[in-house]
Amino acid sequence: MAKDPLAEAGLHFDELNKLRVLEPDVSQKTTELKEECEEFVDKIGQFQKIVGGLIELVDELAKEAENEKMKAIGARNLLKSVEKQREAQQQQLQALIAEKKMQLERYRIEYEALQKVEAEQSEFIDQFILQK
């Protein structure tokens, strides 16, 4: 079998009998590789879109979680504030009760003193009437 002089020069004919620099097998494999690369690039583009959507979704969920966290912190702070207000109010009421108890004790002592004065005056009046 004789060698093709064009093949030795690196020139080949394709299936349409056009003169090519590459061998038909290499040309076909190159075309297949090009098509696979295009498919790969398309799939990578789709993957990037999906990942982009996922990232957006995760960002939204993170924002919602942060908002809920802030609401919970606010509610906890409000609860602490209400608790402190109640404690202060309870202390005020206890101080008022102690003050009222002291006032009651003063009134009781004053009442007893007035009863004693009344008894003395009644006795004095009784003795004064008897002496006359």
pLDDT in tens, 28-57: 788 899 999 999 999 999 999 999 999 999
pLDDT at 1 over 50: no
pLDDT at 84 over 90: yes
> What value does the mean pLDDT take over residues 61-84?
96
> What value does the mean pLDDT take over residues 115-124?
95
> What value does the mean pLDDT take over residues 12-35?
75
Domain that holds residue 43: 5-131
> What value does the mean pLDDT take over residues 81-103?
97
Model pLDDT, residue 82: 96
Model pLDDT, residue 29: 87
Structure tokens at 16: 């349409």
Q: Total domain count for the chain?
A: 1
Residue with tokens 């009421």: 93
Q: What percentage of residues in the chain have a pLDDT greater than 70?
A: 83
Global confidence as pTM: 0.49
Model pLDDT, residue 22: 65
